[in-house]
């Protein structure tokens, strides 16, 4: 479901936006909608990557090997 919003922009920004939209064969509304969709998707991707990264850190990585020594073996007392 789509919903309209209202924006207030400087006249010069609107003028340049119209030219940009015409070059891209779209409307100002289309430019803004595409930009917002990409920004929201990027934020969603970042949050998903962050969750996955934190999960991986909590799970930890096993790099192989095992400790075959005792602490007492390392130090002369």
pLDDT digits (tens, 9 = 90+) for 7-66: 999 999 999 999 999 999 999 999 999 999 999 999 999 999 999 999 988 887 777 777
Contacts of 15 (CB under 8 A, 6+ apart): none
Q: What is the pTM of this model?
A: 0.67
Residue 9: partners with Cβ closer than 8 Å, 6 or more residues away: 17
- The whole-number pLDDT of residue 69 equals 80
Instruction: Give the pLDDT band (50/70/90) at residue 71.
Output: confident
pLDDT at 77: 63
- Cβ atoms 24, 32 nearer than 8 A: no
């Amino acid at each position: 479901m789509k919903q309209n919003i209202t924006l207030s922009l400087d006249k010069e920004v609107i003028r340049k936006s119209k030219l940009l939209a015409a070059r891209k064969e779209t409307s100002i509304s289309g430019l803004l909608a595409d930009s917002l969709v990409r920004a929201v998707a990027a934020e969603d991707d970042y949050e998903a990557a962050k969750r996955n990264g934190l999960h991986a850190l909590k799970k930890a990585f096993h790099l192989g090997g095992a400790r075959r020594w005792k602490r007492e073996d390392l130090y002369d007392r």
